[in-house]
Structure 1
Amino acid sequence: MVSESKTAAAPAQKARYFTAWRWHFYAGLFVIPFMLMLSATGLVMLFDDEIESARYGDMLTVQASGQTMQPSEQLNAVNKAFPEATVTQFIPARTADTVSRFSIQLPSGETRFALVNPYSAEVTGTIDRSDSWYELANNIHGTLLIGDLGDRLIETAASFMILLLVSGIYLWWPKDAASRAGFLKIRTDSGSRLFMRDLHANLGGALSVVLLLFVLSGLAWAGIWGGKIVQPWGSFPAERSKNAPESVITHKMLNHGSEEEMPWNLEQTPVPTSHHGGHGAPEPNVERKHSADVSIDQVVTMAKEVGFTHYKLKFPKSDTGVYTLSANTMSGDITDPTQDRTMHIDQYSGEVLADITFADYNWMAKAMAAGIALHQGDISIINKALNVFFCVAFIAISITGGVMWWKRRPNGSRKLGAPPVVAGNGFWVVGAITLIAICLLFPLAGLSVAAILCIDWLIFRRVQSLKQAFS
């Protein structure tokens, strides 16, 4: 009876294995270029500070000498050096031997960092904020430099990575003597194909949970799954701030280009307005030169009194704009996501209109604050070193997967070399449920799978040359 049961189960098990392999294969062909791109650009972003130090060197350092000048004196020096520019942001020196930074927007629209010696209030140089390896890598990482289309392609690839992970774990997990022989082993003396297989399977299997966390935290920035579905759940409700009128400006508009300076869960939340002496509604994205009643010195003093250490200070953007103090791991200000804090201050009265901390986040926002910090390697040097290892490992997984496909392709034929369709007994319920769940949870994956199935049924199965090529 047992032998008959095993005999009957063998064709079904083989069919399930080849079905999983086939999905894994096709998902991998699409995902590999994106995984290589995301890992490579991720490495560049991990070393942003080191790259900036190497590029600008002495421009970023000063000789510590006595007391620092007041922020207002440093601001006056910037206004004097760039009379036609609009100063939009102040970033205090992080250490005693580094410069202060003021973000300025020139009439041409170009944005620069004006570097100021905090001890002498001397402007020592400028850095073009758009001429940044980090920003270039971040733009490629998020949009492939082609805007929303690139965002959708990357989101689709990231969604397919979930399918790749699930099918990969199924293929990796030992089921018989052959698969157990290579489980958690790298066989270097059994030929290049087995070496590639072991490296690919064991790296992918062992790091599957890590890759899943990278994918989910990365998808939080994607336009559909992140912006339309998950981010609204985690957004801080504006009505929980003090009873201050809301502007038409959201926190996302306070970011500088692709640099994520505002916390993820605040991006869709409107910014409050200054309501003592304001004149009309604010105009989004319009920088204005005007004198607020509350000075930069008062705001900096307030920041120190309430516990801010490293932070960014955004100046009011209009007559009804606010001062915004922000310190969060996503922006690289601090290393502990539980210390995230964003404060809005009325530019006329100095009243705190909103003071949002990690404790105010809902469970989704807290999870994402921690997840994004880990994703970016912001927590510690160990976190950064591990992320470097993970990026290199993901590159190795991608390359070995591609090499294995190339090696097993039929020589001299026009076939893609996909795993064959193997007939089995019955319908694979678990596999179908898993695929449907992924499609429902990740809309672009669902649309892509539906499109693939339709194209397969309408074209590939009916055009003999294409049927053979994809067999």
Structure 2
Amino acid sequence: MTGKHHTQKASDSAMYFTLWRWHFYAGIFVAPFLIILASTGLAMLLLTNISGKDLDRTVVNVQATTATIEQQAASAINSVTAPDVANAQVVQYISPRAADTVALFRIKAEKNGDSIDNMVLVDPYTATVIDSFPRQSNWYYVFDSIHGDILLGTVGDYLLETAASLTILLIITGLYLWWHRQRNLKTMLLPKAQPKRSLWRVIHGTLGSWVSVILLFFCITGLAWAGIWGEKMMQAWNQFPAGKWGVEPLPQSTLVVDFAKKSTPRTNSNQATTHEMTTHGKSLNDGGSKDAPWALEQTAMPISNQANKQANLPTLNSINQQAQMLGFQGRYQIYQPKGETGVWTISQDSMSYDMASPTADRTVHIDQYSGAVLADIRFDDYNAMGKFMAAGIALHMGTLGWWSVLANALFCLLVIVLCIAGYMLWWQRRPTAGLRSLNPPARNKVASLSWQFAIILPLLAALFPTALVAVMAIALLDWLLISRIDWLKQLLK
């Protein structure tokens, strides 16, 4: 029995040190990205609640009457008008968030062959222009760009997706390591007094236990925007089916693809048989922004039918009145039709900071020729994954009210402290002779892994492709170079 017990203990110890090394190497890569994501996330959280991402919280004096939408739009267009500016037009209108805040107009124009894309803040009572600036040029969008792809485009997006995927591995191994040391949930969350030299280990382990589930949730909801796991895997299989608009008659004849049936749509004699498919993402997202609700981003847009053309075409003012009659209140967005087959779109969703509750998400499409409602899509129409992501993104972005703002701010700070504590742990363990080695845990020990982890970890890697690619690349690099070159072996192993 003693020999068997000794063998089991040795096996457990070997697995512990193996997972510790995995945790160490993953942490070395992941921690800088987590600090960047937490810092930029905190900055965006504060900016949206202080000034608004487009300064839409700018305050105005409340008056008895408001100017018409046409008057406000004319002032916005005049703000960019100049002899060398042509084709200025409103492409998006954002209604005031409250009675004492500005209305926003997005104005596109051409100047000497270059495009102008400005956000214009207008006093809704006097139609006075308060401010005008190039779209996505303020600090919110700087932090948003860093948060989305660390200013490296597609490469940065893949790096962040890899970091988020490896963070899930980091969470699992970290919880196991702390459980192995504490042996019960109470001491994991509320550890007993420890020697001073163990302070950073206690901070790291305890904070990790407290924030692990929330961090896992943030990783999943953050990955929903990622280029591979989110766009290619999750969104592609969880989009709102374009053949189920919930409006009679179903506008299949005006859609390029019926995602519900995967068939070629019907056409009528007054309409061309083919046209380029436009999705919500292509139509509403512009300049890197994510304005289309996640569950609709890859869903085809309906199109306007010129056969229904009326003598008096819908205008921004009439569409705004129609939006209010349909029940839209507070901050909502109206998008102008794009091209001859485009539609008016009225959108209100928590992902765009329009309102607090994701269950109130609503997108309405209106025929630009007849003013008929082609689609009225609400939260209840999303599938299970779409509902989860709408609610998850609201939690991720802290749009559910002041309690979620404070909770998210605290979480961001705790993640930063967690990462710093991890680095401090490594610094305390570093070689006294200098930095000739990273001094990973259990140096020169043979790796060992239980069959449970041997199944779970590859499965997790397979679910998150960039993590699998990263692990395989590291293993190949280890086999080809690190294990064969002495100074690399000394540094890393």
Q: TM-score, normalised by structure 1?
A: 0.91
5+ residue gaps, structure 2, are 257-275
In 2, Cα distance between equivalents of 1:70 and 1:172: 63
Deviations 1:135-181 (A, max 9, x none): 1111111111110000000000111001100100100114568x999
Instruction: Tell me if 1:458 matches 2:458.
Output: no
Aligned equivalent of 1:415: 437
Q: For residue 301 of structure 2, give the secondary structure of its aligned residue in structure 1.
A: strand
- What are the within-5 Å matches in structure 2 for residues 157-172 of structure 1? 157-172=163-178
Query: Quick check: 394-403 or 73-82, which moved more?
Result: 73-82
Q: Structure 1 residues 427 and 21 mapped into 2: Cα distance closer, same or farther (>3 Å)?
A: closer
Percent identity among equivalent residues?
Answer: 40
- What are the within-5 Å matches in structure 2 for residues 89-100 of structure 1? 89-100=92-103
Aligned equivalent of 2:398: 377
Query: Quick check: 244-253 or 161-170, which moved more?
Result: 244-253
Q: For residue 60 of structure 1, give the secondary structure of its aligned residue in structure 2.
A: coil
Q: For residue 293 of structure 1, give the secondary structure of its aligned residue in structure 2.
A: coil
Aligned equivalent of 1:17: 16
Aligned equivalent of 2:421: 400
- Structure 1 residue 277 displacement after superposition: 5.3
Aligned equivalent of 2:408: 387
- Structure 1 residue 78 displacement after superposition: 2.5
- Structure 1 residue 386 displacement after superposition: 0.4
Q: For residue 207 of structure 1, give the secondary structure of its aligned residue in structure 2.
A: helix
In 2, Cα distance between equivalents of 1:425 and 1:456: 14
In 2, Cα distance between equivalents of 1:172 and 1:258: 40
Deviations 1:314-345 (A, max 9, x none): 11122221111001110010111111111111
Q: Structure 1 residues 156 and 56 mapped into 2: Cα distance closer, same or farther (>3 Å)?
A: closer
- What are the within-5 Å matches in structure 2 for residues 190-209 of structure 1? 190-191=195-196, 193-209=197-213
Deviations 1:349-403 (A, max 9, x none): 0011111111110000000000000000011110110000000000001111011
Aligned equivalent of 1:305: 325
Q: Structure 1 residues 202 and 422 mapped into 2: Cα distance closer, same or farther (>3 Å)?
A: farther
The one-letter amino acid of 1:52's match is S
Q: For residue 98 of structure 2, give the secondary structure of its aligned residue in structure 1.
A: coil
- Structure 1 residue 423 displacement after superposition: 5.7
Aligned equivalent of 1:73: 71
Q: Structure 1 residues 218 and 176 mapped into 2: Cα distance closer, same or farther (>3 Å)?
A: closer
Query: Quick check: 317-326 or 247-256, which moved more?
Result: 247-256
Contact kept in structure 2, 1:160 and 1:445, CA below 8 Å: yes
Instruction: Tell me if 1:325 matches 2:346.
Output: yes
Aligned equivalent of 1:127: 133
- Structure 1 residue 464 displacement after superposition: 2.1
CA RMSD across the alignment: 2.5
Q: Structure 1 residues 278 and 359 mapped into 2: Cα distance closer, same or farther (>3 Å)?
A: same
| Structure 1: 4+ residue segments shifted above 6 A | 53-57, 179-182
Instruction: Tell me if 1:352 matches 2:380.
Output: no
- Structure 1 residue 111 displacement after superposition: 2.0
- Structure 1 residue 270 displacement after superposition: 1.9
Aligned equivalent of 1:220: 224
Aligned equivalent of 1:88: 91
- Structure 1 residue 106 displacement after superposition: 3.2
Q: For residue 174 of structure 2, give the secondary structure of its aligned residue in structure 1.
A: helix
Q: For residue 106 of structure 1, give the secondary structure of its aligned residue in structure 2.
A: strand
Q: Structure 1 residues 458 and 342 mapped into 2: Cα distance closer, same or farther (>3 Å)?
A: same
- What are the within-5 Å matches in structure 2 for residues 55-66 of structure 1? 60-66=58-64
- What are the within-5 Å matches in structure 2 for residues 179-190 of structure 1? 183-185=188-190, 190=195
Aligned equivalent of 2:35: 36
Instruction: Tell me if 1:260 matches 2:290.
Output: yes
Deviations 1:94-116 (A, max 9, x none): 21111111011232323222122
Aligned equivalent of 1:250: 279
Contact kept in structure 2, 1:15 and 1:422, CA below 8 Å: no
In 2, Cα distance between equivalents of 1:185 and 1:128: 50
In 1, Cα distance between equivalents of 2:255 and 2:173: 50
- What are the within-5 Å matches in structure 2 for residues 418-429 of structure 1? 418-420=440-442, 428-429=450-451
Give aligned pairs, total.
Answer: 456
Contact kept in structure 2, 1:69 and 1:121, CA below 8 Å: yes
Aligned equivalent of 1:286: none
Q: Structure 1 residues 187 and 395 mapped into 2: Cα distance closer, same or farther (>3 Å)?
A: farther
Deviations 1:8-61 (A, max 9, x none): 21100100100110000000000011000000000011012355379979x932
In 1, Cα distance between equivalents of 2:427 and 2:395: 34
Q: For residue 259 of structure 1, give the secondary structure of its aligned residue in structure 2.
A: coil
- Structure 1 residue 249 displacement after superposition: 2.4
In 2, Cα distance between equivalents of 1:465 and 1:443: 31
Q: TM-score, normalised by structure 2?
A: 0.87
Instruction: Tell me if 1:363 matches 2:366.
Output: no
